[in-house]
Amino acid sequence: MDWFKKTSSRCREKGLPSREILDKATEKASTITSLRKEKDYAFLIQRYTACRKGAANGLRNCDINLNQKTITFTAWEKMVSYEKKRGGKRREKQIRRLKSRKDERTLPISKALYEHLKDMPIIKGSDDPIWPNRYKRSDDSWGHHHCNEFKNKYGLPSHDLRRFGITALINEGISPFRIWDVVRHKIPGCQK
């Protein structure tokens, strides 16, 4: 229980934004407008799985299985060809690394997340990344630019989505070992 208290107090010290801000951000991310042609699926995945930004933005089409209602976070590398945002084509080797080998996992998609993802345009059978333009070759990272816009776009930084998720699990009384299974958040004294 000591771990719960420490984690909860850290969230309070950093000033976790209000639930109202999270709800407004979630609504905005799940709304299609004339300026935004599709939902911000990476935001929604981060929001409901409490994963890191690189984990959400580096997903491949085959990592999301809507029939089985699972998301798989795994490391991969591949030569990828894709259209650049400002025109032209690009072909490059893209690498998706997770923070550690222990971060590879398959999670169930919650009912709330499924409602947002059920209309997601996924190419079945493809192992191409969903958002190849979000890859930063210089450090093999994913979603850096996309997530840096969250503060202006949604009123909260992307890491707050992870903090909200972990705090919600703690508040529900979920075992620290189960929290580790879901978010791979370091737990003092837990060797996995």
User: For the chain, what is the HEC assignment?
Assistant: CHHHHHHHHHHHHCCCCCHHHHHHHHHHHCCCCCCCCCCCHHHHHHHHHCCCHHHHHCCEHHHEECCCCEEEECCEEEEEEEECCCCCEEEEEEEECCCCHHHCEEEECCHHHHHHHCCCCCCCCCCCECCHHHEECCCCEECHHHHHCHHHHHCCCCHHHHHHHHHHHHHCCCCHHHHHHHHCCCCCCCCC
pLDDT of residue 48 exceeding 80, the answer is yes
Would you tell me which CATH number, out of the four given (1.10.443, 3.40.50, 1.20.120, 1.10.3470), belongs to the domain 2-183? Answer: 1.10.443
Tokens of 129: 């990344």
Mean pLDDT of the chain: 84
pLDDT of residue 13 exceeding 50, the answer is yes
Reported as a pLDDT band with limits 50, 70 and 90, residue 168 is: confident
Q: pLDDT tens, 81-122?
A: 998 888 889 999 999 988 777 778 888 898 999 999 999 999
Whole-model pTM above 0.95? no
Kindly list the domain boundaries of the chain, sorted by start residue: 2-183
